[in-house]
Amino acid sequence: MLTTLLTALVVGLLGGVHCVGMCGGVVSMLTMGLAPEHRGRLGAVLPMQLGYNLGRVLGYTLMGALLGALGGALVQSAALHWVQRALYLLAALVMIALGLYLGGWWRGLTAVERAGGLLWRRIEPLGRRLLPIRGWWQAVSVGLVWAWLPCGLVYSMLILALGTGSAAQGGLVMLAFGIGTLPNLLGIGLLAGAAARYLELRSLRMAAGLLVIGFGCVALWRLFSPL
């Protein structure tokens, strides 16, 4: 479980270049969606940005708990041993795929995002109805909607949450991922992306990719090694 949580944290923290492309427009829209009296003042913008991101992380955690509970239900409704091994194998393969993505060696996760487009087109208008944002709880509500944005990284982490077979552990996986994304997305919202520039370093991304691939390989070794 510790390996999975570390993977989630690393992917959230170092998937920042993807977050800039995927969420940068959302952050800009939310900033423009603030009531006029809140725009241009850090003291007013910061609580709203914190609200968006709190709602987003809460949304991730809820989705992780739901997927983890689903994994647990699958384990209980079928042959326990084989379902557990299948979920563990799926999680290990997802770790390797995420590592390849972080290192810039494979872009397959972008195809995953297209699968969520239909759902997002139904959910996104709910967020627009909350604009302009005049209160903190309104910002949190918008963040909860934002959590459903189609994102290959989020979907991949949800597969890891499913593989835990536990609502509590699935929620923790997505909480770790959400915490990892905070520095970058807060940086986009407050500093026009300045906090994300270090994530563009090729060597850093490659090192992170190798680390996550290593986590996945260790998980595979544990799965197939003799008892």
Structure confidence at residue 67 (pLDDT): 92
Residue 201 lies in a domain: yes
3-state class (DSSP) for residue 150: coil
Per the structure, the complete domain to which residue 122 belongs is given by 2-34+45-224
Tokens (6 digits) for 165: 């077979």
Establish if 142 belongs to a structural domain: yes
Of 210 and 42, the structure prediction assigns the larger pLDDT to: 210
Q: pLDDT tens across 133-186, in order?
A: 777 788 888 888 888 877 777 888 888 898 888 999 999 999 999 998 887 777
**Mean per-residue pLDDT over the chain, rounded:** 76
Contact 188, 196 (CB under 8 A): yes
Residue 114 identity: R
Task: State the pTM of this model.
Answer: 0.77
pLDDT tier, 196 (very low <50, low <70, confident <90, very high otherwise): very low
C-alpha closest to that of 165 among 81, 75, 66 = 75
**Which of 31, 71, 225 lies closest to 161 in space, CA to CA?**
71
Is the pLDDT at 22 greater than 60, yes or no?
no
Q: Is residue 39 part of a domain?
A: no
Q: Residue 143 falls within a domain, yes or no?
A: yes
Name the domain count of the chain. 1
Q: How far separated are the first and last CA of the chain, in Å rounded? A: 19
Q: For residue 144, how many C-alpha atoms fall within 13 Å in the half-sphere facing its CB?
A: 10
132 preceded by cis ω (within 30°)?
A: yes
pLDDT of 193: 44
Is 40 part of a structural domain of the chain?
no
What does residue 123 show for φ and ψ, rounded to 5 degrees? -85, -35
pLDDT at 40 over 60: no
Range ranked top by mean pLDDT from 77-86, 118-127, 143-152, 201-210 = 143-152
Helix or strand or coil: residue 108? coil
| Cα distance between residue 224 and residue 53, in whole Å | 39
- 173 or 202, which is more confident? 173
169 within domain boundaries: yes
Cα-to-chain-centroid distance, residue 17: 13
Is residue 145 within 8 A of residue 123, CB to CB? The reply is yes
